[in-house]
Structure 1
Amino acid sequence: MVTTRRTQQERRDRAEAALLNAAAELVVQHGVRSLTLARVGERAGYSRGIVTHHFGSKQALIERLARATQTGFVPGLEDLPPGLDRLLRLINGYLGALGDIGLMHRAFLLLWAEAATASELAPIFRERDEAFRRDLRSDVAAGIADGDVRPDAEPDGVAVAIVGQLRGVGMQLLLDPHTVDTARLSHTVTDQWRRALRAS
């Protein structure tokens, strides 16, 4: 019987994934203020020293968690060129994904909400939201250039409105999941933006 030894990088990646998962669990169960390197290590089955080795500080851990929780929320967009079709697929995919919201995305929404009052989170989530808005602005601008989006559409305003709507739906889902039918809502909201943006 042949056994394959994991490389050092594989062990490192596995430990980091376990630590991030433990951090997400703590955020979901107790909020970001409960997050300490020692508690994350204990939850993941590692020592605090391992957490410090991987992330260095609580702030660095939160930054890494914020990025990890947003990764791959709407798959399949990377291959699409910027424009109205990509924008509508993003909206539809985002709301559809909320219907099966997992631990990491739940943690992201909770961290995002806490960023309004937690000074250590605010810069991280300002940057994440700006990246999201920048992506949306690019889609609107490309749609205008292609002639698919109304020429009077304002990319900055559209981007702010879409991020607010999507994040707001996510927060409502966390607060009262039974009131949000994400499958139905994804079609309604996507159609709303299609009608609002499409060139005549």
Structure 2
Amino acid sequence: MAEDRPRERADAARNRRAILDATRALLAEYGGEAITMDRVAAAAGVGKGTIFHRFGSRAGLLHELVAEPALALMNAVRDGPPPLGPGAEPGDRLLAYFGAMTELVVDNLELMVAYRSESPHPRSEEFHAFWAAHITALLAEARPDVDAEVVGALLLAPLGGEPAARMVRAGEADRLRAGVLALVEAVLRRP
């Protein structure tokens, strides 16, 4: 399906990429506090007005960065190969999803922390609703004896919380990965 938006000019595409790359670099080196429009503009080699024109605000810029890996994961869940994509058992898909979501959080931790400090972007709910529906559907199929909506929300919540951020910052990403998968496996086992 073709998009109805006009084709992006080459210089606009270069500026967009430079801004996103500069923001990622600042996040990686200095954390979310470093993300000011002045610093991003200087690092990207563009005017501050270019950033505001393109993204509207700091929240819009951060949303654009969050959207890239989130959309990639959504596409993999919808159309990718199993076990993340369709065609695998619901429990296997749930484990694959939580493995991939944990990786997304680990790889983008400072971005996620900065993003959560902003007012919600208008499209934020789109991602949250997709994850909730996906987890709920798989959990309802794998464990019809539990309240899949509540249990699914509880499974996802720790990835957005302070313990996950603290573990990643302390170099304990492997422990976080193992802990998340152990939690999901425990829920998938019937008592």
Indicate the residue corresponding to 1:35 in structure 2. 35
Deviates more, 1:39-48 or 1:81-90: 81-90
Indicate the residue corresponding to 2:96 in structure 1. 89
3-state secondary structure, aligned to 1:81: coil
3-state secondary structure, aligned to 1:78: helix
Aligned-pair CA distance for 1:12: 2.8
Instruction: Pick 1 or 2: higher relative contact order, CA cutoff 8 A, min separation 6.
Output: 1
Q: Per-residue CA shift, 1:145-169, capped at 9, x if unaligned?
A: xxxx232221211221111133346
Percentage of identical aligned residues: 20
In structure 2, what residue type is equivalent to 1:155? Answer: A
Per the normalisation by structure 1, the TM-score is 0.66
Distance 1:41 1:92 in 2: 35
Distance 1:55 1:179 in 2: 31
Indicate the residue corresponding to 2:110 in structure 1. 107
Q: Tell me which of 156, 177, 180 is aligned to 1:163.
A: 156
Corresponding residue pairs, total: 175
- Structure number with greater Rg is 1
Question: How much is the aligned-residue C-alpha RMSD, in angstroms?
Answer: 3.5
* Uncovered stretches (5+) of structure 2, i.e. residues with no partner: 1-6, 80-84
Q: Per-residue CA shift, 1:58-82, capped at 9, x if unaligned?
A: 3322332332353435884333238
3-state secondary structure, aligned to 1:153: coil
Aligned-pair CA distance for 1:124: 5.9
Indicate the residue corresponding to 2:4 in structure 1. none
Distance 2:158 2:169 in 1: 15
Cα 1:126–1:151 shift into 2, 3 Å: same
Asked if 1 retains the 8 angstrom alpha-carbon contact of 2:55 and 2:61, the reply is yes
* Uncovered stretches (5+) of structure 1, i.e. residues with no partner: 1-6, 144-148
